Structure 1
């Protein structure tokens, strides 16, 4: 399975290829699916470009994409979508609490959502998603406590998939980091599919490793702005086409 990750935390300041508005995200999705993407991961954004879990932001994005294509669509739940206030972050106003409140307020639901297991409150956020019938992508980042926490989690058998995320952006060492991450979680995925991907300089080397191992993977503007030959990508569809060309 090839997932397209449309935008991530990037904004127009990073590249003109980053889709931001619901209409732009819908068109980017249509093109990416036409190029061969089978699923979509998106970061709904406010008009000023900030990632948000507000139902007034998430709903229009999901509706626009849903009108354009009929494929599973997932969103992020990263802590930056509902940052902690300046004063105590461990009370009812914490980022985790606010993310849970946002999820419970959604009127349009994604098929799944990613939860970064190294972030505080991951268990509560994942539980809130499951309560609403939303699949959970367990984001396990290399070099973080996330994999170990996930392996101990009672929710681990209930996730939709494991999202093995290689934070090493060095193209030379990223594949080795990816193999170590896969070894770390191998005994605790409970038969769930594993989607392996990297970022920036590590994106294409890790994608090649995922394809060689027969794992699900992803590509898109979130993960890299460049094609395999180093040229800037015009859009997500061009990245998807390049990924599928490497698979064939």
Structure 2
């Protein structure tokens, strides 16, 4: 079972002082979490101004440092269309990458996702399918994307706890019927991320936690950082 920590997303320190933005901060968080046993990470790397970027000359040196410092972990990057990023510009930037992350998340609801998937296949970088809805799951199956796929990331962005769990279960069942052996990782957003996580753990599915997804613990109290969120998750897992 994969338990992945998403360190930062597109958040800034205005949202939470513990968000790791610089490379040194990201290294510090990974170092702390690695000591707790975390092996899988999802990171949004930034430029010198703290903005997300896909440019090779900014990402390649950071990835080289991370893999040198932490050769025994898996580090995945995002491909989300942030801050007005177009599918065409994203494609051009990623085509120019001279490095290979362990995987890259591709949101199937975003335009250009299939073209990006094919590019990653040609570059030998396995995509992680970001599935937000049953429609995304149908796109995944229709295009036989499981033939070259790291895992399925089932992502629930509903305020209503019951609806988030219902749709996560619906998507999970649909994917499993198509490819039972394909690894699934589930996550939510905000306080409801805990309901999605607990539901997934009960089904023996993988989960994701971190400041990208939520700033609060199960109680609703603000978490001090990624380490506290991970420890909270592991406490819940041990109680199952």
Query: TM-score if structure 2 supplies the norm length?
Result: 0.91
Deviation at 1:242, TM superposition (A): 1.2
Number of aligned positions between the proteins:
236
- In structure 2, relative to structure 1, the CA distance for the partners of 1:33 and 1:170 (3 Å cut) is farther
In 1, Cα distance between the equivalents of 2:30 and 2:164? 28
Aligned pairs (5 A) from 1:77-156: 77-80=79-82, 83=85, 95-142=86-133, 145-156=135-146
Where do 5+ consecutive residues of structure 2 fail to align?
Answer: none
Question: 1:231 and 2:229 equivalent?
Answer: no
Consecutive unaligned residues in structure 1, runs of 5 or more: 84-94
Note closer, same or farther for the CA distance 1:140–1:61 as it changes in structure 2 (3 Å cut): same
Shift of 1:47: 2.9
Structure 2 residue 78 is matched with structure 1 residue 76 = yes
Q: TM-score, normalised by structure 1?
A: 0.88
Pair 61,233 (structure 1): closer, same or farther in 2 beyond 3 Å: farther
Task: Spell out, residue by residue over 1:119-173, the C-alpha distance to the aligned partner (whole angstroms, 9 max, x if none).
Answer: 1110111111121111110000037x32221121133321111111111133344
- How far residue 81 of structure 1 moved from its aligned partner, in angstroms, is 6.4
- The alpha-carbon deviation at position 19 of structure 1 amounts to 0.5
8 Å Cα contact 2:146/2:182 also seen in 1: no
Q: Give the RMSD, CA atoms, in angstroms.
A: 1.8
Shift of 1:50: 2.4
Residue 58 of structure 2 aligns to a residue whose secondary structure is helix
Per-residue deviation, 1:48? 3.0
CA deviations over 1:5-59 (Å, ceiling 9, x no partner): 0001111121111110111111111112222222000111223332211113322
